[in-house]
Structures are given as C-alpha cells and as structure tokens.
Amino acid sequence: MTSASRLVPRSPLARHLLTAVLAMVVVALVLSMLSDFRRYQMAEMAYLGIAVGGLTVLTGLNGQLSLGHGALMAFGAYTTALLLPDRDASTPLLVVLLASVLVTLVVGAAVGAAAARLHGPYLAGATLALAVAVPGIALYFKETLGGEQGLRIVVPPIPEWVLDAAYFVTGQELTNAGWVAFLAWTTLVLIYLLLANLSRSRVGRRWRAVRDDEVAAQLAGIDLARARISAFMVSAAAAGAAGALLALTVRLAAPSSFTLTLSLTLLAAAVLGGLGSLTGALLGAALLTFLPQVVTQWGKAAGLDDIAAAELSPLVYGVVMVLVVLLAPSGLYGVLHGFVVRRRMRRLAAAPAPAPRATLRPTTDLAAPGDTATITEGAQQ
C-alpha cells in the first residue's frame, strides 16, 4: 500500500466528504481567477451538471428512460420566479432553492407513480408528453406565469457576511456573477455528495437490482414500484434544483427555455459522459457548455459567417455523440476509467516480483534433543 492510498479513508462516506471539501477548494480558487463571463459559463455548467447527474442516476442506476427532465426543470425555475419577483422580495436564496426542490419532488412523485408500471418506449413516451405539455402551462396561465415572455427574476443582494468572507479569502470584491456561480457549484457539490452516497447505499443497490433483473429483484423482496418511484423522485429533485439555478443565472423563467430540445440534450449529455457515473455527468455537462462556443469560434476562423458558424456546433455535437455511442458505449468516463485501469495493470505486470521471505521452523519447548541441530541449521540458512 502506497503512502497516498493510506491517506484515503476506507469508508465511502468519508471519501465522499473529503472529495467534496477538496472540490469546494478547487471551485473557490478557479472562480476567483475567472472573468464574469466565464463565471456565468461555469454557473451554466453547474446547473446542467446537476440535471444530468439526476438523469444519469435515474437511467444509469435504475434503468428508467426519461425524456421530460427539461419540463421538471421548469417547475423549479417558475417556483424561483414566483418567490423572487422583484428586488423587494425578502425570501432567502436557501429557502428559494429548497422550495423549488420540494415542488419538483412532489411533481416527480406524481409522475413517477403514474409511470411506475411503464417500461422502455412506453415510459419514454409518457415523459415525452410531459416535456411537450409543460411549456404550454405557462401560456395558459399567462396572467400568473407571464405567458410567452416569462417571468423576470431579480437576484437578492449578496449578504454582507458573504462579501466579507469572499474578500478575506480571495482579496477581491464578489460580483453577482461570482456569487451565482459559487452558489451553483456549492449546490452541485452537495447534490453530488448525496447522490454518491445514495448510489452506494442499500437504496442504490435496490435500484441496480431492479435495473439488472426485475424478476430476481422481486423474488428478493424488492418492491419494484417503490424503487422506481424513489429513483424518479430523487432525479426530479435534482432537476428542480437545476431549474432554480438556471433561473437565477439567466434572470428569467420562460417557456422557450424548457422545450423538448432541452430534455433531449440532457439525455445526450448523460449518454456522452457515461450513464451511471456522476463524473461522466459532469463531463457531459462540460461538453454541453463549452463545445458549442469552441466550434463556433472554429467556424468563424475558417471564414464562415456568424449564422453558419452557429449552425455548425449542433452538427459537431451530433457527430461526437454518434462516435461516442459507436466507439465508446460506456461514454467518456468509461474510456478514461478503462485507460487508467489498463495502465495500472501494465504497471503491476511490469513490476518485479517480491523476493520470497525465508521461513524458519519455530522452536518449541517440546522439541527433542536430536532436533536442536536441525533448528540451528535452518536459522543459519
């Protein structure tokens, strides 16, 4: 055992807590060195990572295919918009996030209970109908939900103690973009910590059992409907938090932000990163955030106009998606994890075998006088 491996706790909960603390340190350092534009991009990556993380738990661990997570994000976003309509709103952001999660959790319980008996394409069709129908709710109740224009959101002022703490740690004034990005990444780390512990717990093992073999899981005493509903509720809660952070980032909750395209994009990011892996979900969110901008810049550098360069990014994303599905079905995380495992195995195979230890026959008080010479010779050898 190496010295580095000795520092890693053996308990999964302790390892996850240590990873969360280190992640928050890295987040604080990275955000302090970025511009406000990059901070908004990091906030976008955070809320997409939360939504994709919940979806990858639902699809990767429990085997339920959902095409309506963009609609679930809409419930969290509109809850945030109703609680923060103007600058005079006194609702703390923590209460706003919790309310958005609870509202989406209730919706997820209702949808999960209705879809608990559906499988495969039938479940996908039901969630697809949800993704199509939910944006129309804002149009129907336009007096309350703003119709096509949506609801404007005013982020409350940054608390004084947060400003003082940020200036003490970084030596810089905390801007609104930095505050929203830090809030988004803190929420991502906390949700990933909860999801990681759930996946390693008895609940996660039940989800996997239902995914792998429903008959065997039922014979083992697992309630299939309860396992599916609980997985859908957890995934919906993550989508609600992601929707609330999206609304805080863009300062708007509008139907155009939660179309079917968003739901399909979230599923594509989960598959691209690697289903069943939170690290893969974060990789998929990163590609979803930064790849379109990089491709657009390449298109402009190649001489394309702004419209053609913007239309190039979906094409490249689709090509990357097809290549990953064909060449790496386990996603980007599966490729990286397999590379690390193969490298470790080659290193172990190339390492010299340890020299055998000399074994001595122990002396006992019951040894015969004639055995003393034999024991002495063995010790000398």
pLDDT tens, residue by residue, 155-214: 888 888 888 888 887 778 888 889 999 999 999 999 999 999 998 889 889 999 988 888
Indicate the average pLDDT of the chain. Answer: 83
Higher-pLDDT residue of 270, 338? 270
More confident call, 48 vs 373:
48
Q: Is residue 316 part of a domain?
A: no
For residue 355, name the pLDDT band (cuts at 50, 70, 90): low
| Residues 162/103, Cβ–Cβ less than 8 Å | no
Q: Has residue 225 been placed in a domain?
A: yes
Contact 16, 166 (CB under 8 A): no
pLDDT at residue 370 is higher than 60: no
Judged against a pLDDT cut of 60, whether residue 117 lies above it is answered with yes
Domain annotation covers residue 236? yes
Is position 338 within any domain? no
One-letter amino acid of 79: T
Residue 364 lies in a domain: no
pLDDT at 214: 86
**Which range marks the domain in which residue 156 is found?**
9-258
363, pLDDT greater than 50 = no
Q: What total of structural domains would you count in the chain?
A: 1
Q: What is the pLDDT at residue 380?
A: 41
Contacts of 233 (CB under 8 A, 6+ apart): 105, 108, 109, 112
How many angstroms separate the CA atoms of 73 and 63, rounded? 20
Instruction: Judge whether 266 lies within some domain.
Output: no
Q: What is the structure's pLDDT at 357? A: 61
Does residue 301 lie in a domain region? no
Distance of CA 119 to the CA centre of its chain: 24
Q: What is the mean pLDDT of residues 257-268?
A: 88
DSSP state letter for 85:
S
Q: Looking at residue 13, which CATH number applies to its domain?
A: 1.10.3470
CB 64 within 8 A of CB 123: yes
Is residue 55 within 8 A of residue 69, CB to CB? The reply is: yes
| Structural domain includes residue 127 | yes
- C-alpha 28/C-alpha 236 separation (Å) is 28
Give the HSE-up count for residue 300: Cα atoms under 13 Å, Cβ half-sphere: 8
d(CA 106, CA 93): 20
